[in-house]
Amino acid sequence: MVEITSTREWKGAAGSVVSWAPTPASRAALDSAPLSEVPASHQQEQHLRSFREHAYAGLEMERLLVLGWDVPGRCDVRAMTHVINGHLRRHDTYGSWFAFDDDDQVVRRAVADSADIVLAPEQLGLMEPERWREQVLHVAGPLQWDCFGFTVVQRPDHFSLYVSIDHLHLDAMFVVLLFVEIQHAYAALVDGRAPLRLPEAGSYLDYCVRQRAYSSRLTLDDPEVAGWLDFLRANGGTLPQFPLPLGDSATTCLGDLVTVTLMDAHETDRFESACMSVGSRFLGGVLACAAITEHELAGTESYNVITPTTTRTTPADFTTTGWFTGVVPISIPVAGRTFADIAVDAQYCFDRRLLLAHVPVELALALAGSVSGIRPPEPGVPMLSYLDTGLPPLTPATLAEWRAHQGRLYLNRGVAKQIGMWVTRTDTGTTLTVAFPDNAEAGASVAKYTRGMVEVCRRVVAATSGGRA
């Protein structure tokens, strides 16, 4: 993941469109797939329940990760068909679909032989931008098997490949790796080389089994659950709220995105030096700047937020797509403290609570159902994510290839009631992207917040460089 863009900002010329869809035989095989004993992951189950809740209300949910990149020349449709089917068969998460049984439990059906997964190309002809964008986003919901799509838009000298996958089967960490897998496999075929031999992928189904076995043993007495309850109590018994107004939460509105530059490459290096000099890391410094920003804008005396991290733990996990993401609760005092104090505390809090990412907060809330004062969250929960694109599994070479192909990541616009923030460090600097409800009050609050965050980060840089930011 490098830069996130809303599909509202989508740009691109008209082109001849090819899209891939399951063959009738493949769809029949998947529709009749047997019940599987492998449970849905906690992430998948929560996603499916949220999707159903939105659907009952007639609302669209933000659920698709759409990545696109450009390739010179004309698309070799036969080669691309081979690559797409190879990708879907390689990762076992795509061989499943889900339903709710009579007891309202999520059940999985899984195909016995991945060779039954067969997508075939459909030539859809010339389309104007508005029409091909609709085609790219026309992806089945997560309660259907084929909640993913592959579309090529051919222009005179190049084509764009768009891959649209429901979050059910993909997280942000694997986006660029998915690009590498598909692009390298396609390039090998069109260059006349032997089909690319990729390392064997891990199994998301194995992860689901491991995760459920672990979580089924948890009780209120376990330190991971107790850590979540401590965090909830620090926020009045629930998850924190964004400190600035976001408009009427009872009014439904779509989400919007804004991206600002926090620091250029030089400032980013200086900022890292500031973090390391006080015994923190870049993440601790980012959390400290967010904490100081909130304190200066809203007077909050402590900073409370959830920050995502991967739940991949084995080498095999890092070779497969799936939803391997949990959140770490951060709670640190701010009032009357310096950047150095807050950064060290933030880093320590993250490191100490890292195991809590393997306990979904929904599970902690369910276990605490009889605990006085604990209650479900309300709209407006903030999430702050940090990604350094120079760290494994990403590499500078991978990032350079992504850029060379004009790689981009889009989020579909859906109903938004929370605040998502992504701080991304690349070799060109550090950016902050904020997703928020698309209303005037929330927009003004986010503008104020991003200005404050930029100012705090640059103050840290200026102090580190003796006043020369």
pLDDT, one tens digit per residue, over 231-287 is 999 999 999 999 999 999 888 888 899 999 999 999 999 999 999 999 999 999 999
pLDDT, one tens digit per residue, over 75-130 is 999 999 999 999 999 999 999 999 999 999 999 999 999 999 999 999 999 999 99
Q: Check the CA dihedral 436-442-443-444 and report its sign.
A: negative
The answer to whether the CB of 435 falls within 8 A of the CB of 256 is yes
Q: In this structure, are 279 and 298 located in the same domain?
A: yes
Say if residue 61's pLDDT is above 80: yes
How many whole angstroms separate alpha carbon 337 and alpha carbon 417?
A: 32
Q: Check the CA dihedral 236-241-243-249 and report its sign.
A: negative
**71 beta partners:** 159
Q: In this structure, are 147 and 17 located in the same domain?
A: yes
**What CATH number does the domain containing 242 carry?**
3.30.559.30
Angle, helix 265-277 to helix 282-298, in steps of 10 degrees: 100
**What CATH number does the domain containing 112 carry?**
3.30.559.10
The answer to whether the CB of 349 falls within 8 A of the CB of 335 is no
Rg (CA), the chain: 23
Specify if 212 maps to a domain. Answer: no
Number of domains in the chain: 2
How many whole angstroms separate alpha carbon 27 and alpha carbon 16?
A: 26
Residue 154: count of CB within 10 angstroms of its CB? 17
How many whole angstroms separate alpha carbon 182 and alpha carbon 164?
A: 13
Predicted TM-score (pTM) of the model is: 0.94
Domain boundary residue among 176, 207, 238? 207
Question: What would the two tokens of residue 400 be?
Answer: 């350079």
Say if residue 467's pLDDT is above 50: no
- Give the model's confidence band at 2: pLDDT under 50 very low, under 70 low, under 90 confident, else very high: low
Residues counted in the chain: 469
Q: In what order do the strands lie in the sheet with 35-36?
A: 35-36, 106-110, 96-100
Specify if 469 maps to a domain. Answer: no
